[in-house]
Structure 1
Amino acid sequence: MSVAHEGTFHEGSRGIVRLAWARRLGLPDLAFSDDGGRLLGCRDTAREFIAVELFGQVALCGPTRLVEAAAGLPDDELLGGGALLRLAGPGVHGLRTAVLGFADDLPVFQPDTEPEVSRGNPEAIELETLCPPDDVSSAGIEERGYRFTLLVDDEPAACAAYAVHEGLIADLGVLVAPHRRRQGLGTFMGLLAAHEALAEGYLVQVEAQAQNVAGLRLADALGVVPAGRIASVALRAQ
């Protein structure tokens, strides 16, 4: 199954990404800028301690005591996740580190044959039952409301789904049945969902976990342009 996969991300789209992430982090709309200064967002009710790098600028957000303790640490320590874990202390969980990539345009996508694609939940849920739990968690299909599941021989083979953040960005995840991998189905469905999102006026975002080689390769195959990093931990309830 052949697809073209060279995307673009124009300078003019940076402002949209910055705005979406500023709002997601609870920062002022114009907080991210070209001056590259570190941003600190203190919110004592935060349930997440998070470091985000966009276009070379880092934002650090979470409870005041944690943000202040981390404010002077190097970027790589924060974005590697180790510093977040160390400072947050016992009871934290859900460390995630990922590369952020974006696309604002993709080549015309014309499948060789008409695929059988379902937008229903049952097929996506069935696909999850065929996959290892770690893969299901990484893809995050359940968390994304717009789902596109490819059916092969009446069986779910791959699903691409996106969630809309701040009305601006479509965050994309892809899951492929183990016995259907290495056939290009993940890229195929990722492009299909990405084109749907672009047609709705959203920018496409892919958050590829830093240690997931397959996820990083998929992001590259989809044509998203790496532009940032993220690390976060979930905080225990007080």
Structure 2
Amino acid sequence: MGQPGGGAGEMRDTFHDGSRGIVRLAWARRLGLPDLSFSDDGGRLLGCRDSARELVAVELFGQLALAGPTELVKAAADLPDEDLLGGSALLRAAGPGAHALSTAVLGFADDLPLFQPDTEPEVSRGNPEAIELETRCPPDDVSSAGIARREHRFTLMHDGAPVACAAYTVREGLLADLGILVAPGFRQRGLGTFMARLVAHEALAEGFIVQVEAQEQNVGALRLADSAGIAPSGRVASVRLRDR
């Protein structure tokens, strides 16, 4: 299989200030906040929905929002940003039964360079190929990439076998949330970066802003986002709540 082409000299700005409003709008809707809640003034936002099944803290471009059931939001409203985004404060505020803590870095792109491989790649959009790739990867990587929960899947094939997959799901009709999974024997070859850019271009062509939510403990995912040119612009932490 040919190696992806291109180099560092081809990198350019991949996210522009004019796209901030789209990202802010999408996250405001996801959190149940009024559309224009996020702004440049940096004030903390509180979103109360008693039907919420999770407690979420999000930092976008330096502004923090906290959303979840009213009593839990009020309990956590005055806690420091770092404690909330680190997740420990969310767990304490959520109380007994809270679980599935997630802390992640958010990156966005509205323009990415597409590096061309030396040979034409074979890319499948079929679900069986993506599912087969998951069986070849460690469970933690499969869970972090979340290929199965993303509707639009693109799988790179090599000698009839799947070796890498990039997939996205559309959030709030505005963001293409991207996940990437590479088979262990094919890592460190630039295939994840190539597929990330290939699928990002598909999403951008459909009019979406690309979003990557990379788990903070997943060094590989963070490096892949960086190599693809998707710069960090925020953080998110969440916990699932016990049945109420």
Q: TM-score range by the shorter chain?
A: over 0.9
Who is 1:189 aligned against? 195
Who is 1:10 aligned against? 16
Contact 1:3/1:188 (<8 A) preserved? no
Who is 1:44 aligned against? 50
- Quick one: structure 1 residues 108 and 139, their matched pair in 2 at CA, closer, same or farther if it must change by over 3 Å? closer
Deviations, residues 173-195 of structure 1 (Å, cap 9, x unaligned): 00011111111111111111111
Contact 2:48/2:73 (<8 A) preserved? yes
The question of 1:101 aligning with 2:107 is answered yes
SS at match of 1:182: coil
Measure the CA separation in 2 of the matches of 1:167 and 1:126. Answer: 29
Measure the CA separation in 2 of the matches of 1:194 and 1:129. Answer: 24
Alignment length, in residue pairs?
238
Q: What residue identity is the alignment partner of 2:212?
A: V
The question of 1:65 aligning with 2:76 is answered no
Measure the CA separation in 2 of the matches of 1:82 and 1:172. Answer: 26
- Extract unaligned runs of 5+ from structure 1: none
Measure the CA separation in 2 of the matches of 1:80 and 1:105. Answer: 30
TM superposition outliers: structure 1 runs of 4+ over 6 Å: none
Contact 1:80/1:97 (<8 A) preserved? yes
1:143 CA displacement = 1.1
1:198 CA displacement = 0.8
Alignment root-mean-square deviation, CA: 1.1
Q: What residue identity is the alignment partner of 1:203?
A: I
The question of 1:79 aligning with 2:85 is answered yes
1:166 corresponds, among 169, 172, 179, to 172
If the length of structure 2 is used for normalisation, what is the TM-score? 0.95
Contact 2:114/2:198 (<8 A) preserved? no
Between stretches 102-111 and 64-73, larger displacement belongs to: 102-111
2:96 corresponds, among 78, 85, 90, to 90
Contact 2:115/2:194 (<8 A) preserved? no
- Extract unaligned runs of 5+ from structure 2: none
Measure the CA separation in 2 of the matches of 1:138 and 1:154. Answer: 25
SS at match of 2:176: strand
